[in-house]
Amino acid sequence: MVATDPRLNQRRLWWERLLWIIDMVAYGVIGVSGALALVHVSDYVLDTLLGQRWIITLFAWLMVTAWLGLAGRASRVWAVEYVGNVAAGWGAFVYAVVLSSGAFGGSASFAAFGVAVVATLGMVRRYAELRIFTSEPGIRTKGWLRDVLDRRTRNVVPRKHY
């Protein structure tokens, strides 16, 4: 048995809780951004896309599904979060691509581009964690789909593998 310093466990717990909060904020911001994009989009984005409203609607709805990721992360049902994470990540990525052409034209465009890139990277980071959860070695009981639906995430990773 491996004995660990309780102070290190408390520090690890604090960092895992902080990541949980960051994930929740990221899902919320992406979801609000998507909802705002459905209601009103800047003239710059419309001009960049040559008036193609369907692209705006597509990335906006993908970003709105971040709320599904938020609900999954809050309830720790990661199978729900997984769907919201993938959709929100692609929506933020498409938005970053749209903003990339004018990112260096002005400070406001660069700031929006930077936020979209950071949101995309946050979704990629969480996606990597979710892929680790889906590929947990040794946990196979009733088939892959049933395992996916049964498993939940926690703020703290159980340390029972020692």
Q: Which of 85, 89, 74 has the alpha carbon at shortest distance from 153?
A: 74
Q: In terms of residues, how long is the chain?
A: 162
> Could you read off the pLDDT of 142-151 as tens digits, one per residue?
666 666 566 5
Interval 72-88 mean pLDDT: 86
pLDDT value at position 1?
43
- Residue 139: CB atoms within 10 A of its CB come to 10
pLDDT for 31 equals: 92
pLDDT of residue 148: 59
123, pLDDT greater than 80: yes
Widest distance between CA atoms in the chain: 63
The pTM of the full predicted model, rounded to 2 decimals, is: 0.72
Q: Is the pLDDT of residue 74 over 80?
A: yes
Contact present, 33 and 63 (Cβ < 8 Å): yes
Structure tokens belonging to residue 8: 């290190």
Rounded-to-integer distance, Cα 76 and Cα 46, Å: 37
User: Average pLDDT, stretch 22-33?
Assistant: 90
Q: Per residue in 28-68, pLDDT tens?
A: 999 998 899 899 887 878 887 887 888 888 888 999 999 99
DSSP 91: H
